[in-house]
């Protein structure tokens, strides 16, 4: 199989037929063998009935229905694991991504030696209010800074992957938006390509303010796993040493005040806070040591490599 197109969706019944028809025309014009893999993430609006009709009409179509709504990350992970193509393309089911951009993404993947090409929706914020654009720009810059992978549009689902890379990814939580950073940590070459953006034809956006906090927490997880999963002592140990150092210094000052100046310490909250800093600092160092032991046990017991070989002579 040359190309697998993975489409995670939730309650997109009215958008499925137009999207399928566009995809079919684009993929047929590319003269490649292909499959279109719809992953229904527990839709309740009759999307599965429409998918059954599409499947009955076209042998290129495959449908996976999840038992319940588990989020876009789970839908992508399911589609990636079941894909068979040398190249895997992910696209949203709401019609906002233009299938006509797929040939350019695939060509960039093939000709430039990239492992992942991510879409950049340059038209998305044209005409949008200042209050809507700023949070998106700030979020993308924050993610780029924390992960070290510079992209303008981390939220764009439209991406082309080498098949072996897509099937090797292990995603959970809200980590679908951090796929370029996760892939880069595995040694993948990541590029960005401008793509079109269209307002959804029907239905409502599934993205809300409630995702902001979850996304931020997942960003911290990605940063930790990509940089410190095999050396947690460097994170927790540093925090512990700083806190313990402050606590020790503060305690020393208070003790000197007691010995030299005769100051009363029993009724002073400062002493309790200084001791608390010292104890918490020791606990953080202990957490770091426990993390080191867990990381060693994980890698040694499962023979999990801490590196990825791209080529061997």
Question: What pLDDT was estimated at residue 313?
Answer: 34
pLDDT at 218: 72
User: Average pLDDT for residues 69-97, to the nearest whole number?
Assistant: 91
Neighbour count for residue 188 (Cβ, 10 Å): 21
Q: How far apart are the first and last CA of the chain?
A: 28
| DSSP at 203 | S
pTM for the structure as a whole: 0.75
What's the pLDDT score for residue 307? 47
The percentage of residues in the chain with a pLDDT greater than 70, rounded to a whole number, is 83
pLDDT at position 160 is: 96
pLDDT of 304 over the 60 cut: no
- Rounded CA Rg of the chain: 25
DSSP E strands, the chain: 3-9, 34-40, 61-65, 87-90, 116-121, 159-162, 190-195
Secondary structure of residue 165 in the 3-state scheme:
helix
* pLDDT the model gives residue 306: 45
Going by their DSSP bridges, the two strands 159-162 and 87-90 should be labelled as antiparallel
φ, ψ at 46 (rounded to 5°): 90, 10
**Separation CA 46–CA 50 (nearest Å):** 7
pLDDT digits (tens, 9 = 90+) for 227-245: 666 677 888 888 899 999 9
Q: In percent, how much of the chain has pLDDT > 90?
A: 39
Q: Is the pLDDT of residue 93 over 80?
A: yes
The SS3 call for residue 32 is coil
Mean pLDDT of 2-19: 94
The pLDDT confidence band at residue 206, using thresholds 50, 70 and 90, is low
pLDDT of residue 141: 86
Among residues 76, 101, 96, 98, which one has the least CA distance to residue 88? 76
Question: How confident is the model over 108-166, as pLDDT tens digits?
Answer: 998 888 999 999 988 776 666 565 677 777 888 888 888 888 898 888 999 999 999 99
Tokens of 278: 């010292």
Q: Is-contact 99 68, C-beta < 8 A?
A: no
- The single residue listed with the structure tokens 């991510």 is 118
- With 0-12 / 13-18 / 19 or more C-beta atoms within 10 angstroms meaning exposed / middle / buried, residue 138 is exposed
Specify the range with the lowest mean pLDDT, choosing from 76-80, 92-96, 123-127, 168-172: 123-127
Read off the tokens for 20: 């399928």
- In the numeric block, which tokens belong to residue 11? 């309650």
CA nearest neighbour of 6 among 32, 29, 35: 35
Stretch 25-41: mean pLDDT, rounded? 94
Asked if residues 235 and 225 have their Cβ atoms less than 8 Å apart, the reply is no
Work out the mean pLDDT of the chain and round it to a whole number: 84
pLDDT confidence of residue 73 = 87
């Amino acid at each position: 199989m040359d190309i697998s197109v993975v489409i995670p969706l939730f309650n997109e019944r009215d958008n499925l037929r137009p999207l399928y028809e566009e995809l079919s025309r684009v993929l047929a014009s590319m003269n490649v063998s292909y499959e279109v893999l719809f992953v229904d993430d527990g839709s309740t609006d009759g999307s599965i009935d429409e998918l059954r009709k599409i499947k009955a009409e076209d042998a290129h179509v495959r449908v996976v229905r999840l038992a319940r709504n588990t989020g876009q990350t789970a839908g992508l992970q399911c589609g990636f694991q079941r894909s068979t193509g040398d190249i895997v393309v992910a696209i949203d089911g709401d019609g906002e991504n233009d299938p006509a951009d797929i040939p350019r993404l695939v060509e960039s993947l093939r000709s430039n030696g990239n492992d992942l090409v991510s879409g950049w929706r340059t038209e998305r914020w044209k005409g949008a209010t200042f209050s809507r654009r700023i949070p998106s720009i700030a979020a993308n810059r924050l993610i780029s800074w924390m992960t070290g992978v510079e992209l303008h549009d981390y939220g764009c689902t439209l991406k082309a992957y080498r098949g072996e890379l897509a099937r090797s990814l292990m995603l959970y939580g809200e980590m679908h938006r951090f796929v370029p950073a996760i892939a880069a940590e595995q040694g993948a070459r990541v590029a960005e390509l401008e793509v079109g953006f269209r307002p959804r034809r029907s239905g409502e956006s599934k993205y809300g303010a409630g995702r902001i906090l979850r996304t931020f927490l997942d960003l911290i997880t990605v940063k930790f796993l990509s940089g410190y999963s095999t050396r947690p002592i460097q994170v927790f140990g540093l925090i512990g040493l700083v806190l313990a150092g402050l606590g020790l210094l503060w305690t020393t000052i208070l003790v000197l005040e007691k010995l030299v100046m005769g100051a009363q310490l029993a009724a002073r909250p400062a002493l309790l806070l200084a001791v608390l800093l010292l104890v918490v600092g020791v606990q953080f160092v202990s957490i770091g040591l426990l993390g080191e032991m867990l990381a060693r046990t994980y890698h040694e017991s499962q023979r999990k490599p801490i590196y990825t070989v791209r080529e061997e002579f």
